[in-house]
Amino acid sequence: MKKTDEKILCIIPARGGSKGVKRKNIKPLRGKPLIGWTIDEAKKSKYIDRIIVSTEDEEIRRVSEKLDVEVLIRPEELAQDHTPSIDVVFHTLDELKEGGYVPDLVVLLQCTSPLRKAKHIDEALSMLIQNKKNADGIVSVTKEEHPPWWLKKVDEDGYLTDFLEDQDNKFTRRQDFPDVYRLNGVIYVTKTETLHKEKSFITNKTMSYVMDRNASIDIDTEEDFLLAEIYFR
């Protein structure tokens, strides 16, 4: 039973080409195509009521349809290495609007995050829905283990210089640093009206949903596939 009256659309972008691993999005992981992990968890969500896979690839279309989700074919120019995800999202929204469907919230799930569970999706959506009067969206993050104050640059003469110009916080012990977080690319949610206005999933009123390191894994290389296998175990 759906837990809200909001119309919530989930978009899963999946193009056929990939540099790190050939045909990555449908490469098997524990007997299931990589994209299948994201599709299956999105289908388990108590909030999401429509799922669209956006692709230019015929094989990805067939795999996705076998998993019982809608597929929207996007043009080749929106399936290049440099194509921003936001352009894919707007293409999907424009196509659906022509059919009379306009969601209240848009969820973007990259299919390279196979350890993301429905539990994570629903916890993030629940947080946003409970704070919808004061927040534009919610984005998943994970705690950064390496303090940015330790980052260095190497100048043209080979000498180390500070990466951050503001070095007022020159702590020496890891536990003395304030907590910092990085975007993990696992869950993006925003109001549709905000998306059209800001052209971004992140505004100054975007909430954070903190995830652990294992669930935040992003598949980009063959080594990442092996690491995901370990985390699954």
pLDDT in tens, 88-144: 999 999 999 999 999 999 999 999 999 999 999 999 999 999 999 999 999 999 998
- Predicted confidence at residue 151, as pLDDT, reads 85
Q: How far apart are CA 176 and CA 147, in angstroms?
A: 10
Q: How far apart are CA 206 and CA 135, in angstroms?
A: 6
3 state SS of 162: strand
Residue 10 has pLDDT above 70, yes or no: yes
> How would residue 43 be classed by pLDDT, with cut points 50, 70 and 90?
very high
pLDDT in tens, 48-63: 999 999 999 999 999 9
| Domains of the chain, first to last | 8-142+183-232 (3.90.550.10), 145-179 (no CATH)
Mean pLDDT (whole number) for 137-164: 89
Which of 98, 104, 124, 125 has its CA nearest to residue 195? 104
21: Cβ contacts below 8 Å, ≥ 6 apart: 27, 219, 220, 221, 222, 225
Q: Could you tell me the CA-to-CA distances from 226 to 28, 37, 230 in Å, in that order?
A: 12, 16, 7
Residue 31, both tokens: 């007997």
Q: How far apart are CA 28 and CA 25, in angstroms?
A: 9
Q: How far apart are CA 221 and CA 218, in angstroms?
A: 9
> How would residue 64 be classed by pLDDT, with cut points 50, 70 and 90?
very high
Residue 169 has pLDDT above 90, yes or no: no
Point out the least confidently predicted range of 13-22, 27-36, 62-71, 136-145.
13-22
